[in-house]
Amino acid sequence: MTLSKEVLHHLGVAPGEQIELTLLPHSRVQLKALRTKNSFKQLHSMLENKTNGAHLSIEEINEAIARVAINGMTDNPKKSES
C-alpha cells in the first residue's frame, strides 16, 4: 500500500518506516506510526558517516536527539524553529 507524503507526515512516519493498521467496526481502519524501542540504534544509524570521524559532545548528541524527536528520522535534519 502506498500512502501520500501528506498522510506520512501527519503520522510522523518517514517513507519506508512501519505503520500499524487496526480494523475497526463499520468498515473503518485506524493507522498509527509503529514506534520501535531501539532509538539508540536509530540515532547511531542517523549519525553514521556524518561526523567525518569527529567525536561529538554531549550537547551535540542531545541536539541530534532533539531533532529526531521533533522531525523524526530523516536524512535532512532541520533544527526546529522556536
**In this structure, what CATH number is given to the domain that contains residue 19?**
2.10.260
Q: Same domain for 82 and 54?
A: yes
Closest residue by Cα to residue 13 from 35, 29, 28, 30: 35
pLDDT tens digits, 11-67:
888 777 888 899 999 999 998 888 766 666 666 666 677 667 777 788 888 888 888
Q: Where are the beta strands (DSSP E) in the chain?
A: 19-24, 28-33
Q: Same domain for 5 and 24?
A: yes
Beta bridge partners of 19: 33
Q: Same domain for 46 and 72?
A: yes
Q: Same domain for 31 and 52?
A: no
Q: pLDDT band at residue 8, thresholds of 50, 70 and 90?
A: confident
- The answer on pLDDT for 76 being more than 70 is no
- The answer on pLDDT for 78 being more than 50 is no
Q: State the residue range of the domain holding 3.
A: 1-35
